[in-house]
Amino acid sequence: MASRKNGKTGSNRRDFLKKAVAIGVGASVGGVALERSGRVLAQIPPPRQAIPRRPFGRSGITVSTLSMGGMFDIINNRLMLAKAMEWGLTYWDTAEAYGGGRSEEGIGRWFARNPDTRKQVFLVTKLSRRRGTDFTPRLEKCLQRLNTDYVDLLFVHGIRGIDEMDGKMKSWGQDMKKAGKIRLFGFSTHANMEECLEGAAGMPWIDGIMFTYNYRLMHDPRMRAAVEACHQAGIGLTAMKTQGGGPITRTSESEMAMAGRFMEKGFTDYQAKLMAVWEDKRIASICSQMPNLTIMAANSAAAVDRSRFSRSDGARLAVYAEETSGDYCAGCGRICTEKLAEPLPVNDVMRCLMYLHSYQDRDLARTTFERLPDNTGALLTGLDFSVAEKSCPRRLPIGRLMHEAADLLT
C-alpha cells in the first residue's frame, strides 16, 4: 500500500496537476489547483463573497454551508479562525477528544480575545460514550476550555448504532437544554449511518446529525430514503467525509481524465466532490478538515460559486464512484463484524487506513487507532476474515487490509 501511495501512480497525479498549472489551467481557475497533500501549486485568492447559509433543520438557526472541522491543534493555528470569521465560515466543529483538548482550547483562546464573535459562531462539540457516560462534568470541562457558557449543538460522538441514543441520553440532553448548556442535541456517526438516520427520524428530540455522506453514498436508495426521513422530521444534517476517501488509494486514468475535465471547467475534483454534496439542499453544511488556509480558501471558493457544476458533472462523479467502489469502505460495520469470531471494529480500522492513505495524516490515523478498544491490535492478525470478506458488499480484501493496519498502525 505504501508503495502504491508513494509510487508511480501518485507521481502521475502530481505530474498531471503540475502540467495543468504550467499550461495555464491553474491560472484560469483562479489558482485553485491543489496536490492531494495540500501543497500549494498556485496562489489561492479569498472567496469573493461570504459563505452561503442554510437552515439547520427545524431549529430556526441558519448555518454556513461550509463548517470548519477542528480536528487539529487550534492553539497554534488561530489565524485559521480569524480567516474563517472574515469569510463567513462561522460553523465551527470540535470535540472533547480532538488534539487532546487543544482544539477546544484553541477556540476558547479565540473567544477570550474576541468575545464579541461568540454569538456569530455556531459552535459544536462532541462527547463520546466510549470514554464513559459521565457527560455532565465532561461538558463542563468542554465549556471551560471553549471559554463559553453554552454550545449551540452537542453531538454524542461517533455512535455505531441508534441504540446508543437511549432514554438516558434523551433525558440528559433535555436537562442540559433546560440548564442552558446546549441549544441543540444530536449525534455524529460514520458507522451504520443509514440505520442511525432511520432510527433518528422517529426521535423528535434529535435536533442534528453529522454523518458520512458523499458522492459515493448519496445515490444509494437506502441512504437517500434515510436522509429524506430525517429531513422531513426537521433534523439538521451535516455531511462529513465528503471526499469519499477509502482505505485503498490509487490514481487511475479515469480519475485523471475526470480531474482534467473539471479543471477545464474551472474547478478541481476536490471542489467538485464538495459541490456534489451541496447540490443536495437537505444538507445544511459540509464539515471539512481544512488544515491550512490554502484548502480553506479552495473549499470556501467552491461554497461561494457552484454555478459551473452541472448535472453531468455529478453524473461523472457517480460513474467514478462505481468504477472505484471496491476501494471504499461504506461504514456498514455491522455486516462484516457480525461474521467475525470477536467484535473487531473493522470499519473504524478502515477509517484509520483512510486517514493514513487518503488524508496522508499518519498522526490522525494513529491517534484514532489508539482510541479503539484495547484488543484491536491483537485481533487484526488473529482472526479469520474469509466469511466477512464474502459478506462485504464492496468485496474489500478485509484480511489483507487488517494485516496492513497491524503493520502500519500498531
Task: Catalog residues that contact ligand SF4 under the rule CB under 6 A.
Answer: 329-333, 335-336, 346-347, 350, 392, 394, 396, 398
| 271/376 with CB nearer ligand SF4 | 376
Distance separating alpha carbons of residues 299 and 290, to the nearest angstrom: 8
- Least Cβ distance, residue 55 to ligand SF4 (angstroms): 32
Q: In the complex, what is the shortest distance from the CB of residue 351 to ligand SF4, in angstroms, rounded to a whole number?
A: 9
Comparing CA positions, the residue from 50, 99, 52, 108 lying closest to residue 72 is 99
Cβ at position 83, least distance to ligand SF4 in Å: 36
Which residue's entry shows cell 498522526?
363
Least distance in Å: CB of 272 to ligand SF4?
A: 23
- At its nearest, how many Å lie between ligand SF4 and the CB of residue 353? 11
Q: How far apart are CA 364 and CA 181, in angstroms?
A: 29
Neighbours of 202 (CB within 10 A): 10
Which amino acid makes up residue 286?
A: I
As measured in angstroms, the least distance from the Cβ of 332 to ligand SF4 is: 4
Q: How far apart are CA 404 and CA 410, in angstroms?
A: 10
Minimum Å distance from CB 348 to ligand SF4? 9
Question: Which of 303, 396 has the CB closer to ligand SF4?
Answer: 396
Quote the distance between the C-alpha of residue 145 and its chain's center: 23
Instruction: Decide whether 146 or 350 has the Cβ nearer to ligand SF4.
Output: 350
d(CA 227, CA 204): 15
Nearest CB to ligand SF4, comparing residues 97 and 398: 398
CB of 86 to ligand SF4, least distance (A): 39
DSSP letter for 239, please: E
Complex with ligand SF4: residue 169 or 332, whichever CB lies closer: 332
Nearer to ligand SF4 by C-beta: 85 or 408? 408
Instruction: State the Cα–Cα distance between residues 363 and 349, nearest whole angstrom.
Output: 14
Q: Looking at beta carbons only, is 234 or 399 nearer to ligand SF4?
A: 399
Q: Is the dihedral of CA 5, 25, 67, 237 positive or negative?
A: negative
Among 259, 221, 238, smallest CA distance to 41 is for 259
Pairing of strands 66-69, 91-93: parallel
Residue 223 vs residues 195, 301, 336, 337, 390: alpha-carbon distances, Å: 9, 28, 19, 20, 22
Minimum CB–partner distance for residue 246 and ligand SF4 (Å): 9
Cα(241)–Cα(287) distance, integer angstroms: 8
In one-letter notation, the amino acid at residue 364 is L
Which residue type sits at 372?
Answer: L
Nearer to ligand SF4, 245 or 333 (CB): 333
CA distance 274 to 286: 8
Looking at the Cβ atoms of 102 and 351, the one nearer to ligand SF4 is 351
